[in-house]
């Protein structure tokens, strides 16, 4: 009796461990197969058009102009919030990507108290002059969900923008700027197959 009972308990325990391992593996799989491009909003400024200059103030108190003509660096604008869990994981990613690509990186946010933003940038290791607070900026690019990234080319044209959740999404924005094709849908739409050769 005791032996069979113990055996059952051991088997149930082993099964539970396996179920946990499976659940974890599904999580890893989900991570791998996540949608591979940034989600671009349909409204708002068009890709390829010159962006409007927006005056904002960073946390160190300096006025900065975002967008408009006459910038010599490509600007990566990341919309984040201290209350958004995904943003936290994407801040270091955006930093490393901007460093690698040589982009001018700016973080934008609004709402919450100034103290919340200050403790947030301290936690994330963001410089004061790289963090701007502006509601107008979010309205300009129709930011509805965070984290949201906007890539402005060195000549001031809007290169790409969209909701980003992973490094792949961010890289898809860079890719969209390089190739000049905004989305995979646009690419497929413009693809004209070569006429089949007659045998």
Partner 1 sequence: MDPLVTAVIAFGFAVLFGTAAMTKLRDFERFRSALRNYALFPSSLEPLVSVMIVFVEIVLAMGWLLGFYMAPTAIASALLLGLYGAGMATNLVRARSYIDCGCGRAEQPLSWALVVRNALYMTAALAVLIPANERTLGWFDMGLATFALLILVLMERTAMALLANMSQTAAWRT
Q: Which residues bind partner 1 (CB under 8 A)?
A: 2, 6, 9-10, 12-13, 16-17, 19-20, 23-24, 26-27, 30-31, 34-35, 39, 82-86, 88, 113, 115-116, 119-120, 123, 145-146, 163, 165
- Length of the chain as a residue count: 199
Give the strands of the sheet with 131-133, arranged side by side.
63-66, 54-58, 131-133, 104-109, 75-79, 148-152, 158-163
d(CA 91, CA 96): 9
Q: Specify the residue, 6 or 96, whose C-beta has the smaller distance to partner 1.
A: 6
d(CA 34, CA 107): 24
For residue 51, the 8-state DSSP code is P
Output the smallest distance, CB 65 to partner 1, in A: 30
Q: Specify the residue, 39 or 64, whose C-beta has the smaller distance to partner 1.
A: 39
**Contact by Cβ (8 Å): 76, 99:** no
Q: Taken in order 80, 86, 91, 94, is the CA torsion positive or negative? A: negative
Neighbouring CB atoms inside 10 A of 144's CB total: 12
| DSSP H helical ranges for the chain | 2-33, 85-101, 114-124, 135-140, 167-179, 184-190
Q: Specify the residue, 38 or 182, whose C-beta has the smaller distance to partner 1.
A: 38
Q: Specify the residue, 3 or 199, whose C-beta has the smaller distance to partner 1.
A: 3
Output the smallest distance, CB 53 to partner 1, in A: 29
Q: Specify the residue, 111 or 189, whose C-beta has the smaller distance to partner 1.
A: 111
Output the smallest distance, CB 83 to partner 1, in A: 5
Output the smallest distance, CB 113 to partner 1, in A: 7
Output the smallest distance, CB 33 to partner 1, in A: 9
């Amino acid at each position: 009796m005791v032996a069979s009972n113990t055996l059952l308990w051991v088997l149930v325990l082993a099964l539970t461990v396996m179920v946990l391992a499976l659940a974890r593996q599904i999580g890893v799989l989900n991570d791998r197969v996540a949608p591979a491009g940034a989600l671009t909003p349909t409204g708002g400024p068009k890709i390829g058009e010159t962006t409007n200059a927006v005056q904002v103030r960073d946390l160190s108190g300096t006025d900065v102009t975002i967008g408009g003509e006459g910038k010599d660096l490509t600007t990566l604008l990341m919309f984040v919030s201290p209350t958004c869990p995904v943003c936290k994981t994407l801040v270091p990613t955006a930093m490393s990507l901007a460093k690698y690509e040589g982009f001018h990186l700016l973080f934008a946010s609004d709402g919450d108290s100034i103290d919340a933003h200050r403790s947030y940038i301290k936690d994330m290791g963001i410089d004061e002059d790289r963090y701007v607070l502006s509601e107008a900026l979010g309205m300009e690019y129709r930011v509805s969900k965070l984290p949201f990234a906007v890539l402005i080319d060195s000549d001031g044209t809007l290169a790409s923008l969209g909701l980003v959740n992973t490094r792949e999404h961010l890289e898809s924005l860079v890719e969209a700027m390089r190739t000049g094709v905004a989305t995979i849908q646009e690419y497929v739409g413009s693809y004209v197959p070569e006429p089949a050769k007659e045998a």
